[in-house]
Structure 1
Amino acid sequence: MTIENAVRVIAGSIVLLSVVLTLTVHSQFVWLTVFVGVNLIQSAFTGICPAAFFLKKFGLRHA
């Protein structure tokens, strides 16, 4: 799996988890979704993605 695909899987999983937690636990979990969305937007403009940094440390590589 490439870093780009892994970042998408992680972001999508966190968004889905956030939605479930928002609906079942507490409405403030919606901020987790906001955080993921803002991080995706800033990484598109800056090219800096914290998740990609950690995935590189774990040994994943670009395609």
Structure 2
Amino acid sequence: MLASVNKAIQKGSLTNRDGVLLDKPLTAALVTDDGKLLYPISDGIPVLLEGESITLEQI
């Protein structure tokens, strides 16, 4: 899953829910039970802000 997310980031085609284009690869993330959202982990800390989450339907 993380590899697919990072490919989309590398292509410049992935945004978070705030609409910000992501440009740095993720090293870790949490995925919701329903598999619809991904929350990045930054420096070992989960970023659980709604706007920072990524909708996985973009992948």
TM-score bracket relative to the smaller structure = 0.3 to 0.5
Q: Which has the higher contact order (CA 8 A, sep 6+)?
A: 1
Larger Rg: 1
The TM-score normalised by the length of structure 1 is 0.31
Structure with the larger strand share = 2
For normalisation by structure 2, the TM-score amounts to 0.33
